Amino acid sequence: MIPVQGVEDQTVAVLGLGRSGKATAAALQAGGAHVIAWDDGVDTREAAEAEGLHIADLTRDESWHGVTMLVTSPGIPHLYPHPHPVIARAYALGIPVDNDIGLFFRSYAGAGWDEFDRAPRVIAVTGSNGKSTTTALIHHILRECGRPSQMGGNIGTGVLSLEPARDGEVVVIELSSYQTELARALTPDVAVFTNLTPDHLDRHGGTGGYFAAKRRLFAEGGPDRAVIGIDEAEGLYLAGQLATAPSDDRVIRVSAGQKLDRAAWSVFARKGFLAEYRKGRQVASIDLRGISGLPGAHNHQNACAAYAACRAVGLPPREIEAAFHSFAGLPHRSQLVAEIDGVRYVNDSKATNVDAAAKALQAFQRIRWIAGGLGKDGGIAALTPYLEHVSKAYLIGHSARDFALEIGQTPYEIAETMEQAVAHASAEAEAGDIVLLAPAAASFDQYPNFEKRGEHFTALVEGLKAR
């Protein structure tokens, strides 16, 4: 645990008592704060109270007496589409609102750092797609190269539940737009921006607000190095905003298709090869085509971003390349579940939007595609250019029939459930086919989250192996 600094003898309110909220309350108490807490769920409040937390009804004015700060969980709206009433009350009372990410950045550095030979560092990763894989890949590379490392944030361990820093350690954290938008302190040593595609737009008041939330990681804290994916206009703009001159190598530009040989420092992938250029000269090259844990152009972009971040903290190219080969990938992200009679089954349940599904569809040939769920605004018509390798679509969930109207001439069936989709796809598949779960939709119509959806797919495939 990382005790929160600067809160001794203060009364701090915590809103939201899920995993991050309870961890935040514990870290505040470890820092000497008096914590009062609230959650809209009765069962959640009762469980937290049974664990020793002091519950105070923050919807009542009398509960705010003496409160100096409100710390909110990331899933609770604080601006759009409208602030949660408790957060709105804090604004009206002039009480600062923060989240666990802001508390982490203000508390991570400790007095003991003066005795370290090498100061700990923080790499923070944000973006629309690929940030979890990029975060996990950086963490994997660091550990394979012998550097002490922890991973947390939006993936794995909550930031305040991480262990205090060790000599020379690199902490790698994934940050969602919900987290970057509100944090009052954002000071990573290296910040990574993977890409930007429309998502969570109601929460941010549109694409501009969504990009602004991501941009805060770079504009507020001023990282020593910024790794920026420039394949979209927003990334190109951000790189231009951060660099002071064409020779400024504090910005490392990254692409999954463009040759970048004019920037001061760049990493890009073309035709399956990663290249690093510095001051117009190629300094490294890696063949990504045979790396099973990083299939497809979208994973090559992730590899470029992770490579650049690791180079920014001093790791050599050959050691990074060796670590690539031992990376198994993340569950639910182009995860190879099994190969049965020459048919490969791939779980990309995390492909919850059109852009992520498009990248999965481009990564494979001869696809039997399982898609559907709770469709998002705009539907999936934009996927039409990426369906040329789809032999047949098996559509499930709430939006199955809507999706059927948007996939052009692609053969399909309304399978309704995952059980039917897997059974029918496996029965019709031939050796060399890929049965790909890339839903292009949220999971909430049939599953509590994308992980449960992917786990169900995986369990069904494991059942095929047992036959």
Residue 361: inside a domain = yes
Annotated binding-site residue? 349: no
How far is residue 161's CA from residue 172's CA, in Å, rounded to a whole number? 13
pLDDT the model gives residue 298: 85
pLDDT band of 182, cuts 50, 70, 90: very high
Across 6-27, average pLDDT: 96
Give the dihedral sign, CA 30/169/139/250.
positive
How far is residue 443's CA from residue 455's CA, in Å, rounded to a whole number? 12
Across 242-380, the runs of DSSP E, i.e. the strands, are 251-255, 265-270, 273-278, 281-287, 335-340, 343-347, 367-372
One domain, residues 22 and 111: no
Residue 378: inside a domain = yes
Task: Answer with the one of 306, 325, 344 that is the final residue of a domain.
Answer: 325
One domain, residues 224 and 315: yes
Q: Tell me: pLDDT of 54 over 80.
A: yes
Structure tokens that stand for 326 in this block: 């031992």
Which residue range forms the structural domain that includes residue 29? 11-98
Residue 2: inside a domain = no
Annotated binding-site residue? 131: yes
For 165-180, the pLDDT digits (tens) are 999 999 999 999 999 9
Omega of the bond leading into 81 within 30 degrees of 0 (cis) = yes
CATH code of 384's domain: 3.90.190.20
For 88-119, the pLDDT digits (tens) are 999 999 999 999 999 999 999 987 898 999 99
Q: How many other C-beta atoms lie within 10 A of the C-beta of residue 411?
A: 10
**H-type helices in 51-158, by residue range?**
85-93, 100-107, 131-144
Residue 186: inside a domain = yes
Q: Tell me: pLDDT of 404 over 90.
A: yes
pLDDT the model gives residue 34: 98
Annotated binding-site residue? 376: no
Q: Do the bridges between strand 149-153 and strand 121-126 make them parallel or antiparallel, or are there none, so unpaired? A: unpaired
Annotated binding-site residue? 52: no
Annotated binding-site residue? 128: yes
- For the whole model, what pTM was predicted? 0.85
CATH code of 84's domain: 3.40.50.720
pLDDT band of 334, cuts 50, 70, 90: confident
DSSP annotation string for 7-75: -TT-EEEEE--SHHHHHHHHHHHHTTPEEEEE-S-HHHHHHHHHTT-EE--TTSGGGGTTEEEEEE-TT
For 450-466, the pLDDT digits (tens) are 999 999 999 999 999 87
pLDDT the model gives residue 292: 81
pLDDT the model gives residue 448: 95
Using alpha carbons, list the distances in angstroms from residue 215 to 237, 247, 413, 455: 10, 22, 42, 33
The closest of 181, 159, 149 to 104, measured between CA atoms, is: 159
How far is residue 334's CA from residue 8's CA, in Å, rounded to a whole number? 46
Q: Do the bridges between strand 11-15 and strand 273-278 make them parallel or antiparallel, or are there none, so unpaired? A: unpaired
One domain, residues 128 and 82: no
Total residues found in the chain within this entry = 467
pLDDT over 90 percentage in the chain: 87
Give the count of domains, the chain: 3
Annotated binding-site residue? 350: no
Annotated binding-site residue? 195: no
CATH code of 112's domain: 3.40.1190.10
